[in-house]
Structure 1
Amino acid sequence: MLLDLNHPCIPRVRDFFVEGGKHYLVMDFIEGRTLGDILEKEGNVLGVNGARGVTEARARSWGQQICSVLGYLHRQAPPIIFRDLKPSNIMVTERDEVKLIDFGIARTFQAQRQSTIIMTIGYAPPEQLHGMPEPRSDIYALGATLHRILTHHDAANNKPSIFAFPLVRTLRPDISMAFEQVIMKALAPGVEQRWINAGEMEKAIINLPPISVVPPTGAIPQLGQARLANPQTPSNSVTPSNPSRHSTTGPGGRYIISALGFINTNRIEEAYAAIQQAYVLEPNNSLVHRTFGQVFARRKPPEIERAMQAYNRSLQLNSNDAETHKLVGDVALFLRRLPLQAIPAYTQSLRLNPNDVDSHQRLAQCYEDTNQLEPALREYQEAARFAPKQPLLHQKVGQLAWRLNQFPIAERAFVTVLTLNPADHQARFLLSQVYENEGKLIDAERECAYVVPMIPAAQQVLLRIRSRLGR
């Protein structure tokens, strides 16, 4: 198998022989270092909570090259799965060219056949744990590798499971949202939610927007050495020199509360003046920076980049604030109109606060807008579970379930809508069509006949139902 491979990222196997009962390969000598070595010696871009790693530019370059070689391996007949992609099995030359090494457990892919379970925990996806690796298992391992070299995060610390990686930007806020999305999609525990193939992931990396942030490197600056008395934007330093807060009980608390009140009444510039006062008193309070973000996001026109700068600073100070993650999602969904980029932020918000109706609803909207209907239905159901008196949520459940031909779910949802609001004629009309699809024609006729005077289009449906009833 190895003798036939010819790709710039794979050392050529020139020969093989057996001596003393042992098998040997004659391969090209690669002069360079592994990604693991580079991370330890050159991973000096500082994040939060002890995170550090290489620059986004280098990670993009390496990721693109690895996608290229994985695509080549997976296009073989039959496909070749590497099965053990990780930083120690990837070498980089002095020209920053990637070389895959240690093909010891690579194997050809045979669908529906279980293989020996050989892997590295933290880089192997769930299906490989069960002895069923496939080409997209390598894509997951690439996602884990990129996550590691950017953050130095150990997957052993993932919660609640080894497969639940934290969002890259919670550890490295300087990483672009677009690149984070590429990595987190590769890390999806479900095979179907990952990139379709390595080629698609490579295209996504190639098409990423230019990097606009200069990452913080070297020694962590002391925030107390440079502090603005009347800031135009919040400080961007990585780690505060004095303890951070996440409350309104400190000296700046009354200004934070005032600013939030002004925001709620759409008095944005007054909110800005108040939160500046809070910043002077508590520059390390994450609520201060979150409020700055809300001010910038609500200005006319919105100052999107300044809002994201403030939200990122807030998350540097308190990465476990579900509300700030939700606000980051709101920027992507409502201001940038990029629902795919909003998904990781809302997902992280729900990990921290699973009962947030708004986050479930907005995540559902993102999935629906990107034509991921089954997860959209699941999130609308969760939102409706936590807010059972909101008919619009049940209406969305019914509509999506109908589109997915899940008629019993659709029936229950529309019945719930009518229980909450019997005058909702559109829900009744949809319920009649659900009944028709379920073969409950008498129920379908009853509901449809009721709405004919209000919905003219129902007349044709009613005639069809009665025809099926032989009337």
Structure 2
Amino acid sequence: MPLSRGDEIKGRYKIIDILGKGGMGSVYLAEDWLHKEKCAIKEMLDNFSSDEERKDAIKRFQNEAQILVNIKHKNIPRIIDYFVENNCYYLVMKYIEGKNLQEIIMERKDGKFTEGEVIDLGVKLCDVLSYLHEQKPDPIVFRDIKPANIMFENNGNIMLIDFGIAKILQPRKAGTITGTPGFASPEQYQGFAYPVSDIYSLGATLYYLLSGRNPENSTPFNFPPLEHCVSDVEKVIMKAISMKIEERFQNVLDMKRALIYSRKTEIKMITEMREKVTPEEKVAPEEKVISEEKLEELFLVSEHVTGQSTEILRSTKSLSKKPLNKYIKLCFYITGLIILFICLYSLVNDYYRDRKIDHLCKEAEEFLKKDDYKNAIDRYEEVKKLKSDSIEAFRGAGKVYLKKGEYEHARLSLERAIDIDKDDEESYLTMAKVFWEQKDIFNAEIWYKKVLVINEDNIEAINGLGDCYFARKDYENAIAKYKKLLERDPQNIPLRMKIGYVYKEKKDYTNAIKWFTLALKVKDTFTEARLEIADIYIIVKKYDNAIEEYKKILKYKPQDVEAMSGIGECYKIQQNYDNAMKWFEETLKLKDDSVRGLRGKADILIVKKKNLKEARKNLDRALKLDPDDSLNYYSLGNYYVVKEDFNKAIENYKKSIKIDPDIACVHYDLGRVKAYLKKYDEAIEEYKKAIDLDPLDPYVHYNLGKAYYNKENIEEAVKEYNIAIKLKKDYIYPYHGLGLIYLKIGKFKEAIGYFKKVLEIEPGSDLAMEAEKGIKFAEFYGSF
């Protein structure tokens, strides 16, 4: 949704007017109420359908916006801020009052400029482009030189506006132009932009000014020769707009020199500066004369210190060329004493004021430690009264509001602190934490990077940036940041753990276990590392290994409820329900509000279909203790399956998936309910999701095959049954399923082979009896 007049964004910028609209967004005139000044805000829309494209564009937007923030030039509007809000990207810049060159062209009758005007403007624009192209480590390419992007301020100063940063927020497609048709160079039509591309666009702009012919309204690259040029400016322009890159000026300084020397008439490039020297008056040795300039200097110093005019000096100024008399000397002595007194008073006053500020700030910090937010804020407000631009007060208040969870107040306080000191890395760091707490990973990353611009070795910023990369699944960069910190502190357990978490999230379980084990090498009794290793063993279905890890924890921490309930969980999955119940009950004896213990005990009662009232009571309590635990809803779904209330079962499975969509067993059991209700398409969809999360589960593949069989998709059914057998060779159900398929399609020999496999694996089972019937049918019909 486009912004309207009166709307506020970032809690700071109020929209006054809409300056322009386009396909990629709008430009707004806004008021920055923090600084009480107008600004221009460029809005760029998120037009991406692919998360990968969006992720790439966000990264490029951050990088390019940060580059623009660091640009300081009189002919380029200052970038004040950049941020993301409601899926839109915003650049905030100084508002330029004046007219753009396109408007000035339209005001002229023939739309033309004189050669002298064109040369002068070209030289000025070359200077601006030279500044951009000489930036390190990489040149900045403007991308979109044209009259509409050249502003003339009311004082006559030119401004280059509207960097082509918006182009990076368009989905990348073959042939996407990175400039304006007519003014864009040939290579820009292919999606590339170089410093020489700016030279081409500048040449096209100067051509427009001389000819009155707008390239945007003409066939691209069509520039007929200019006639009646007195100077050589036409040659300069035609060289700049050469189709081939190598035939253009290779840098803007070469073009600038060519423009300067393009006049046929004599141009005097250097004006002589003549210094007029007035002979000093001769003064008799006995007459001491103070010069007017010295008096003026003294007058200004006095006025600066006292804040008011000094009448004594003003009256003395008229006597400056006369000998000093005693009266004048006395006046100077008195003035000097007054100035000295004022300076001393100011120093003493500042000293005691600063001491009081330090004391108040320390008090505020102590109150913050005690979570006494009101008193902490009150102390910082007192500091502001003593010193209105105290960075300590605004930064400190930002920290209080952050801890209090009042993020908007925190941001405003920190913005004021940064306004006071642009290089205060602590304020930038706290701002990053504000966005992190709001789960605004994009802006948190921006602010951590700003800290690193000031101090590339800031440990908290490197760590925070690693966390941002981890949160947005940029695993390689996250690991790189954590390893960079490990180089400084190789024995740091939390960093080793973080790298382990990243590998676990990547499902690279071998490396995850390696890094959790490295944490244990520093401290063998570090429980969290063993719990993570055990959890990985559960994920990869190595339940005995998981139990072993849990028991290691219990050796040095015998009452660890996480380890005890973990053992219960492993036995439950192995269907060793008696042992599982024993461990869950031991857990609840030590901690009667253990969610895992309550849920685990309920799960066993549900599987055994006994004492369902107690099971429901345990689940209700678990849900009350942790309403955000997806497994609680999963277990409740299983409870309703046993009660044959399938609608409520589906409802709770979906609640579980909404909280955590990455648990395979929830999708699997939801699929089974859908299949039971003969909703095979929906069942197939859930089974596929389960397989995406856990492709090695033979039971899911079998049930998917069965759903395909019921849909009469025999080919897919056979494929899934075979995968199930490959994953678990003693799993009798897919053999039986294949027997039924081959019996149905008349391949009796193959059917008999699969039915016999069932008898071979589990000869006394119910399914074996069904297999025997299948063999008899196959033998009977196969005999014809």
TM-score (norm 1): 0.46
Please give the TM-score of this superposition, normalised by the length of structure 2.
Answer: 0.29
Q: Which has the higher contact order (CA 8 A, sep 6+)?
A: 1
More helix by share: 2
